[in-house]
Amino acid sequence: MKIMYINNSGGGFADYMNIEEGTSIAKLFAEKMPHEEAANYLIRVNRQPVPKDYILKENDRVTITPTKIDGARN
């Protein structure tokens, strides 16, 4: 099943990817960001916040954005 996955941390990755049917948003987050806590991210599907047990569907658009992003002087 194909979804659009956008990660707004680090390299600003955005691309289509394949996932297994029945994958929840919480499972996808755990797979993609294994050392991170979900509470530190804005996680949206199709531009809307969803519960963690939301089951992803074909062509869903998942966006993960950190709630804290360090600015810098230079």
By CB under 8 A, how many residues form the interface with another protein? Answer: 21
Interface with another protein includes 37 (CB under 8 A)?
Answer: no
18 versus 67: smaller Cβ distance to another protein: 67
User: CB under 8 Å, gap of 24 or more: what pairs does 57-61 form?
Assistant: 57/1, 58/1, 58/2, 58/3, 59/2, 59/3, 59/4, 60/3, 60/4, 61/3, 61/4, 61/6
Q: Quote the least distance from Cβ 20 to another protein, whole Å.
A: 26
Q: Binding residues for another protein, per CB under 8 A?
A: 6, 8-14, 42, 47, 63, 65-74
